[in-house]
Amino acid sequence: MEYDLRFHPKAEIEYLEAFVWYEEQLDKLGERFESSVERKLQNIISNPLFYPNKKFKCRECKIEDFPYLLVYKVYPERNLIFIVSVFHTSRKPGKKYRK
């Protein structure tokens, strides 16, 4: 079953801000971040139930080589994966869940 992938508007902003920040730190680092996120998104689309349920029926996936989590919900009845947050792990943990 093919799932649609959508981002919460704030999660999309978090993703873009992280990309820009990494790109400003070192040439091509933003691209490495983007590639890591894209690989994880493909993993999630391929097997959305692989990562464990946490709070509020959200699942979390660690982005390799970067201190970020993809926090998402799966809606199988709508074939939808909804990215709730692109969360920097140094932030207050409760802020990663959006209802």
Name the domain count of the chain.
1
Q: Find the domain containing 23 and state its range.
A: 4-96
Give this prediction's pTM: 0.90
Phi, psi of 18 (to 5 degrees): -65, -45
Q: What is the pLDDT of residue 97?
A: 73
**What CATH number does residue 83 fall under?**
3.30.2310.20
The 10s digit of each residue's pLDDT in 25-75 is 999 999 999 999 999 999 999 999 999 998 889 999 999 999 999 999 999
